Structure 1
Amino acid sequence: MFNPNISQKMEAQAPQRRTAQTPPRRNRDRFMTTTGKSEADYNAWASQVGRQMHINNLDRLICAQLGIYTVAHLAQLPTLLPEGVESEAQETSYLLENSVNPLELARLWQRVRIDATMYLSAETVLNEYLRPFPKDNFERWGDRNHLGDVSKSWFKKTGIELDVQLQEINEVAPIPVTMEDAIEFVKSWKPGGFVSPLQWQLTHIESRFQGLTTFRIKDYYAEHLLKMTQLVHPALTDTVPF
């Protein structure tokens, strides 16, 4: 015989299904409930966790590529410099072309990146400030026989006169630039196209790093590599007692 009391009891014991009115608790809700912190705190924490997971994946890629257990071992694999390499410039040049150690390239990248942002020359000033000018200006102050060396992008009939531009540039530039500087610059570079030697080095380092690791170098990962290899790892430094 059907017993309604038993049926009601079984329904009461059955697990409650979630409905549209009772959505599942999300990580954010659990975080805020457990810690008492705000949604902004959760977003910052989640971003940090995601970044660390990404870094761990990149570490695994390097370890797999080089056959090492941890990226900390990179500090134990320096590139041997040949005789005659003594100055920092010589060392940089050699490592740039020959190092197969991502740590060394990351260290180079950090140093060159800082130097590249501080690099200052007549070319960097002109690259930032010089704008197209009338074509006859080049014929007047330059050599018309070299007109073929100059990109047509530099010439604009309604552009500001070259000497006027230089006067205005020298009022704000950190170093002086001359008419000769300007003429040589437009013969060598298109507008906005100047690449400093340090910027070229930086691009080359990035290319070599990606070729070794399969991924592009970023500032946060370069910092991670340097920190990891600066830690003291007993397994790498302890003297074996036999």
Structure 2
Amino acid sequence: METPIVQPTQPKVATRRNIDRFLEATGKTEKDYFDWATEVGRRMHINKLDALVCAKLELYTVAHLANRPTEIPEGMPETEMDEHLVANSENPYELACLWQRVTVNAENWVSKETILNEWLTGISKEDFERWGDKNHLGDINKKWWNKDAAALDVKLEEINSMSLLNQPLTFEDAIDFIKCHKPGSYVNPAQLLIKRIEERFKAVTTFRIKDYYVSHLMKMCHLVPASEELADLPF
């Protein structure tokens, strides 16, 4: 009977992790590695999104989106163009430009409603009856009622002292706002438009709009200078 041959045990070689190779090659920190890895993952994701757009719209590169503007009817007022693009554009770059611009508008939107939405959070029933019409008490959202709320005249004086508008807010402004909205629920027109742009973008591309993908489209189509290019793998 033959004696079985015993194979020598191969010593295990420890697998080096990417992070270890990165730290050794660059001398940077673990935070630097995770920042770098996040950027690598994001760029891979952007490449996949580009592929989806190109396949769906039959493009060689998303840079060609700059040459596919939506036709604007002759004589259309400038004030109607945004609505026209939201309803008709099939161009992700065009929608991304619109989304970026309207997002800035939404963040900087200042009106009676936005100010009251931020600073007026409650009112006592007694105060409402004093400055409004008690016959409308039943129409007011119950979340407004707060027996410990600051008096409306005091609150308006505080708001007006900040000079957020070029004209002071009145008791009528406050009462009308309370009658029409729930506390903190007001959405300005630019925010409503953003939602519609996002819905249109998803319908055109099949995926949700992302700020980093908007920046990518700007770079590809609008020749925005890129920030630092991703460093080559250090290993």
Give TM-score, length-normalised by structure 1: 0.82
Question: Residue 119 of structure 2: which of 109, 129, 138 is its match?
Answer: 129
Question: Aligned residue for 1:17?
Answer: 12
Q: Distance in 1 between matches of 2:215 and 2:142?
A: 43
State yes or no: 1:159 paired with 2:159: no
Partner of 1:235: none
Within-5 A mapping of 1:42-53 = 42-53=33-44
1:93 corresponds, among 55, 58, 83, to 83
Structure 2: how far apart are the matches of 1:149 and 1:174? Answer: 29
Question: Structure 1 residue 34: deviation in Å?
Answer: 2.4
Tell me whether 1:64 sits opposite 2:59 in the alignment. Answer: no
Distance 1:68 1:181 in 2: 52
Selected match of 1:83 from 74, 79, 91? 74
1:120 maps to which residue?
A: 110
Describe the SS at the equivalent of 1:53: helix
Does the CA contact (< 8 Å) of 1:149 and 1:188 recur in 2? no
Give 1:40's aligned residue.
Answer: 31
Q: Using the alignment, how far apart are the partners of 1:59 and 1:142 within structure 2?
A: 56
- Matched residue, 2:228: none
Q: Which has the larger radius of gyration?
A: 1
Report deviation, 1:37: 2.8
Give unpaired runs (5+ residues) of structure 2: 225-235
State the percentage of identical aligned residues.
53
CA distance in 2, matches of 1:15, 1:70: 50
Alignment of 1:218-237 (within 5 A): 218-231=210-223
The separation in 1 between residues aligned to 2:23 and 2:144, in whole angstroms, is 59
Q: What is the CA distance between 1:223 and its match in structure 2?
A: 0.8
Deviation for aligned residue 1:15: 5.4
211, 223, 234: which one aligns with 2:203 = 211
Distance (Å, rounded) in 2 between the aligned partners of 1:130 and 1:228:
44
Q: For the residues of structure 1 that align with 2:149 and 2:159, how far apart are their CA atoms? A: 15
RMSD (Å), alpha carbons: 2.3
Q: 1 CA distance for matches of 2:41 and 2:10?
A: 34
1:3 aligns to what?
none
Task: Write the letter of the residue equivalent to 1:169.
Answer: I
**Paired amino acid for 1:188:** C
Q: Is the 8 A contact 1:79 1:95 kept in 2?
A: yes
Question: Quick check: 1:125–1:173 contact (8 Å CA) kept in 2?
Answer: no
Distance in 1 (CA, whole Å) between partners of 2:162 and 2:101 is: 28
Matched position secondary structure for 1:159: coil
Tell me the amino acid that sits aligned with residue 215 of structure 2.
E
SS in 1 for 2:174: helix
Alignment size in residue pairs: 219
* Counterpart residue identity of residue 213, structure 2: Y
- Deviation larger for 141-150 or 75-84: 141-150
* Residue segments in structure 1 that go unaligned for 5+ positions in a row: 1-6, 233-242
> Which string of whole-angstrom CA distances, capped at 9 and with x for unpartnered residues, describes residues 183-218 of structure 1?
111111100000001111111111211222222212
Higher helix share: 1
Which of 177, 180, 184 aligns to 1:188? It is 180
